[in-house]
Structure 1
Amino acid sequence: MNVKTVTKTLAVASAAIMLLSGCGSSGGASSKQASAGGDGFDSKAQTTITFAGWSLDMTPEFKALADGFHKAHPNVTVNIKQYSADDYDKQLTADISSGAQPDVFPLKNLIKYVTYSESQGLADISDIASNFKGDKHISLSGYERDGKYYALPYRTDTWVLFYNKDMFKKTGLEEPNAKWTWNDYTKAAKQLKQKLPEAGYDANSVYPMYMHSWQAVVQSFAIAQSGKPASQTFLKADFSYMKPYYKRALAWQDDKLTIDWNTAFTNKVQYQPQFGTQKAAMMPMGTWYAATLLTQQNSGEAQKFSWGMAPVPQNPDRKVPKTPITFGSPTSLAISSKTSGQKLAAAKEFVKWAVGEGGANELAKLSTTPAYINDKITQTFFSPEGMANDAASRKAWSTHDMKLEAPVDQATDTINSILSDTHSAIMTETKSVDAALKETTQNVQDQGVLDE
């Protein structure tokens, strides 16, 4: 199977072009990847490097990577430095500014890369990146900055459509597929609203869908599926492409196809129990949720039922593409520019392993989606008992055209902050879609952050 995890670059200003991509592997990479040295790495030298992580009790991937690399390289010890999950970027940026950063550290998403790159705290690891250009199992798109690479993605979570197979079977409806548009999604939701009570589900608590309260659930789909580069829309304060997405979102809640936004936001409704306790038949969510659902079904926190993953519905105003378009964001690994000598060599070897097949296999064992995906990794990811492992779910997970959640630019944080207010104003229906988007354009222009 020719597995694709395509991350096509959103057109952004050159100053915002970003991080980097995947790397070779000590655990099954090609000979070309395996020979990519880390500045004279001595595998026999006793070496200790530090690695940043967060919420270690609930996020086992960091320990899995550290232990997996140590097993492959017994003379290298990887000590994990724990940060706060909520304040990770703030704490790490402070450490970089003071020169106290760990040897290796994750960058949660690409949007913050401008901040990190300006700190000059990231080492140039273009030598590792060069071994992966053209590798069909991992994408380098969007990571080059002025001809150099400063980080590598080790995991990539994209958005798919989770759905309850039992609900569809009991109602006699056809399951979601790659040809669905948002209009098909709406049609199915309306049919579910009628048929779910007939199938024995409580009409007062079970909904056809759940759309979480995050602004990305509307805005990032609109960005990804608009058909226009963000440099011509988002970064020019033209948000007209969001209008049909908001019109649909409002119609869904007005027709009681989902919990309304105000209730979900005010009551802090969480997506895990909504889908996990069969309160929703369909739910767009990131692939990270697969691991949570699997764990909760095994522990009893979630109910036992059959579920699957399908591609997210596509823009009905455009021709349905052969490869479904969705959004997501890679999580990357960077190396401190302060690290040198054997520590730098070991850090490079660790990053090379972690973002390649070796690290990908360790992540897949945890049902965590790695950036490097091949047949072996796919098999590992879908092997746990209870995991959705039908062919359609496998394809939805592995084959898609992933756009960035938001463009990488110095203006993005400011624009996103304004758009957050826009999202709540529209979804609470305190402002019309047209009025809110028009006001947003003016507010962004007033900030003076737009590209000329």
Structure 2
Amino acid sequence: MKLSLILATAALVGTSAFAMQVQAQDAPVNLTWQMWGDQSDQALWQSLADLVTQEYPNIKVTPQISGWTDYWTRLPVLASSGEIGDIVAMQSMRMPSFYSILEPLDAHFATDSFDIKAFEPSIVSGLSHDGAVYGLPYDVGPWLVFYNRDMFKAAGLAEPAMDWTFDDFKAAADKLTSGDKFGYATQAFDYIAGPVAMGAEYFNDSNQFDLTNAGYTAAVGKYVDLTAVDKASPVFASGASAVQASGRFASGNAAMYIDGPWSMISAAKGASFEMGIAPLPRGDGPSRFITAGSGFGIAAAGQHKEEAYKALQVLTGPKAAEILASAGRALPGRLAEQHFWYDVAAKDVKGTRETLEYSFAHATPFRLNDTWNEFENLITQYMPLALNGDNTTDGVLADIQSQLP
């Protein structure tokens, strides 16, 4: 064969191969995205999915929305059956239990010099495990005290200071309790976030549970006594969710309850009174808060990981963060876009920016381990026994400790 013919043939083959490669790269890819929410969230999540297609016309993302409880019940089943979505929503507090179903992202970051510093450091840590990042955040926030400004004013109480103490919190709850009105509506997570804000620890130096240490027991006991002794809060039902406390607050039957920025806008809109927010009360030492949040990861068993990574960057990118923040759905984990939440969604809630900035400045990493979710479930199940007087704080914490590794 003549050299010219050989070269021409090679060129043709090379062109064909290149064309096939381009065609393969541009072939339509349909990604499924598992997320929690309700019907009112559907349009919002779809608008983020549409951003992906605008950026990458060959990639279509389909949100699969489940209710909060159903989501966590179904997730391990979908993972074990191989039916899990390409993109998976993950809450930071559940990362120790579910990181194994996700793809570590660090190798992807290395290919495009991804700037992880664009995100609030505490939530990046929360979506990591053993030093590897498994999710990119869309929201972040510390736990806060939501309070009824009208009830504080009517009682002649000064509104909470940034560094208010548990004694201040207790005094307000006691004064605001009268008849069928409570100063405070307790819920299970208060016995985790509240003691930490007071300087207590429920882990030992080996990151194993130590629920019976003197500091944690004393701090939990103070929160318990607000209900069991002072009657400043009703008892929450064993296994109940935060809906119980938020409902009492929204109806005006409780002057304070503890929640996070993720619920702040809806709480303010649902209230017939003016709402304010404050940091959690501190103990004798300086203020200290834990933050949490949620993000999205790539399924380890997914078949389209490169496309999923492209979609992930859009879903947690600047425009997506602006949309979620402006709608009041999330205080963005992306730092540069947090102003949209402050300036648009949260502008009518007193003290928002000051309280959040103060809380982030005094934030501590949220310590977790592989059985943390079991611990949270046991707190929800057993703490009402201390609140209604069927057991002591020491007894409840000892019972829970005996059931943990």
Scaled by the length of structure 2, the TM-score of the pair is 0.79
What does residue 50 of structure 2 align with? 67
1:146-178 Cα offsets, whole Å, 9 max, x none, are 553222222224311111222223333211121
1:51-106 Cα offsets, whole Å, 9 max, x none, are 11234404345324213433444543211223453232332222222322211111
- Inter-partner Cα distance in structure 1 for 2:332 and 2:249: 26
- Inter-partner Cα distance in structure 1 for 2:275 and 2:257: 11
What does residue 326 of structure 1 align with? 289
What does residue 282 of structure 1 align with? 256
Find 2:114's aligned residue among 115, 126, 131.
131
8 Å Cα contact 1:132-1:138 kept in structure 2: no
1:137 is displaced (CA, Å) by 4.2
8 Å Cα contact 1:243-1:433 kept in structure 2: yes
**Stretch of structure 1 that moved more, 178-187 or 94-103:** 94-103
1:95-147 Cα offsets, whole Å, 9 max, x none, are 22232221111123433434441xxx422321338633444645422444455
- Inter-partner Cα distance in structure 2 for 1:372 and 1:269: 24
- Inter-partner Cα distance in structure 2 for 1:141 and 1:73: 29
What does residue 102 of structure 1 align with? 85
8 Å Cα contact 2:342-2:352 kept in structure 1: no
8 Å Cα contact 2:246-2:257 kept in structure 1: no
Over the aligned positions, Cα root-mean-square deviation in angstroms equals 3.4
- Inter-partner Cα distance in structure 1 for 2:33 and 2:120: 25
Indicate yes or no: 2:305 matched with 1:344: yes
**Stretch of structure 1 that moved more, 126-135 or 154-163:** 126-135
- Inter-partner Cα distance in structure 2 for 1:328 and 1:288: 12
Where does 1:409-424 land on structure 2 (aligned, <5 Å)?
409-424=369-384
8 Å Cα contact 2:202-2:210 kept in structure 1: no
Matched to 2:314, the amino acid is W
What does residue 6 of structure 2 align with? none
What does residue 335 of structure 1 align with? 298
Q: Which runs of 5+ in 1 are unaligned?
A: 1-39, 194-202, 297-301
8 Å Cα contact 2:298-2:309 kept in structure 1: yes
8 Å Cα contact 1:158-1:329 kept in structure 2: yes
Q: Which runs of 5+ in 2 are unaligned?
A: 1-21
8 Å Cα contact 2:126-2:292 kept in structure 1: no
- Inter-partner Cα distance in structure 1 for 2:121 and 2:80: 31
What does residue 232 of structure 1 align with? 205
8 Å Cα contact 1:309-1:396 kept in structure 2: yes
1:229 is displaced (CA, Å) by 7.4
Q: Looking at CA atoms only, which structure, 1 or 2, has the larger radius of gyration?
A: 2
What does residue 328 of structure 2 align with? 367
- Inter-partner Cα distance in structure 2 for 1:327 and 1:247: 20
Change (3 A) 1:414 1:173: closer
Find 2:354's aligned residue among 371, 376, 395.
395
- Inter-partner Cα distance in structure 1 for 2:388 and 2:152: 30
Find 1:377's aligned residue among 338, 363, 368.
338
Indicate yes or no: 2:125 matched with 1:162: no
8 Å Cα contact 1:181-1:320 kept in structure 2: no
Indicate yes or no: 2:399 matched with 1:431: no
Question: What SS class does the counterpart of residue 86 from structure 1 fall into?
Answer: helix
8 Å Cα contact 2:97-2:371 kept in structure 1: no
Indicate yes or no: 2:161 matched with 1:177: yes
Find 1:248's aligned residue among 217, 222, 238.
222
Find 1:208's aligned residue among 175, 183, 193.
183
Percent sequence identity is 20
1:331 is displaced (CA, Å) by 1.4
What does residue 14 of structure 1 align with? none
Matched to 1:106, the amino acid is A
Change (3 A) 1:157 1:58: farther
Change (3 A) 1:151 1:99: same
What does residue 61 of structure 2 align with? 78
- Give the number of aligned pairs: 375
1:313 is displaced (CA, Å) by 1.0
- Inter-partner Cα distance in structure 2 for 1:443 and 1:349: 43
- Inter-partner Cα distance in structure 2 for 1:309 and 1:107: 26
- Inter-partner Cα distance in structure 2 for 1:418 and 1:347: 36
1:395 is displaced (CA, Å) by 2.4
Indicate yes or no: 2:274 matched with 1:306: yes
Change (3 A) 1:266 1:310: closer
8 Å Cα contact 1:360-1:373 kept in structure 2: yes
1:376 is displaced (CA, Å) by 4.3
8 Å Cα contact 1:329-1:404 kept in structure 2: no
- Inter-partner Cα distance in structure 2 for 1:187 and 1:138: 35
8 Å Cα contact 1:53-1:80 kept in structure 2: yes
- Inter-partner Cα distance in structure 2 for 1:149 and 1:280: 40
Matched to 1:124, the amino acid is P
1:430 is displaced (CA, Å) by 1.1
Indicate yes or no: 2:315 matched with 1:358: no
8 Å Cα contact 2:326-2:340 kept in structure 1: no
- Inter-partner Cα distance in structure 2 for 1:89 and 1:438: 28
Change (3 A) 1:408 1:191: closer
